[in-house]
Amino acid sequence: MKRTLFLLVVVISSVLTSCSDDDGVNYYFKALEVKSVEMPETFEYGNIYKIKVTYVRPDNCTYFEGFDVVKDDLTTRKVVAVGTVIEDDNVQCIEKLEEVTTSFKFEVLYNQPYLFKFWTGEDENGDSEYLEFTVPVGSESSDQNKE
């Protein structure tokens, strides 16, 4: 039985390896500049909110992947829009500077005000710059952006 299982694993491994196709396309991830954000004026504890973000797609070789939301502190979040840049010798990247709006959902888990820092790029010294929003958590919330 062990020998049969071993042979099955070897056969499957060699089939999967022989079918792999390396098309030579390389890619890397890149932070995308956030231009604007639509945040509610207040949050209500336990609710989920849709936060709209407008970012810049710099060229036709960059595709939006999602958001990297990092918890810096209990209620502080750094948010970066992340893109994938395709490097393909057969495709010419053309600058577009297209503004695109998308959203992500955020659940309010704490009764303290939240501080959001959305990455907007770097200054002349290479230091990150952010759009910052402080949103208090109350018992009654605006229905704007509420799920």
The pLDDT tens digits for 77-127 are 999 999 999 998 888 999 999 999 999 999 999 999 999 999 999 999 999
Classify domain 22-138 at the CATH topology level.
Answer: Immunoglobulin-like (2.60.40)
Cα separation of 93 and 32, whole Å? 16
Mean pLDDT score across all residues of the chain: 85
Per DSSP bridges, beta strands 76-87 and 43-44 are unpaired
Report pLDDT digits (tens) over 31-44.
999 999 999 999 99
Residue 61 three-state SS: coil
Full-model pTM:
0.77
Q: Does the pLDDT of residue 8 top 50, yes or no?
A: no
Domain boundaries, the chain: 22-138
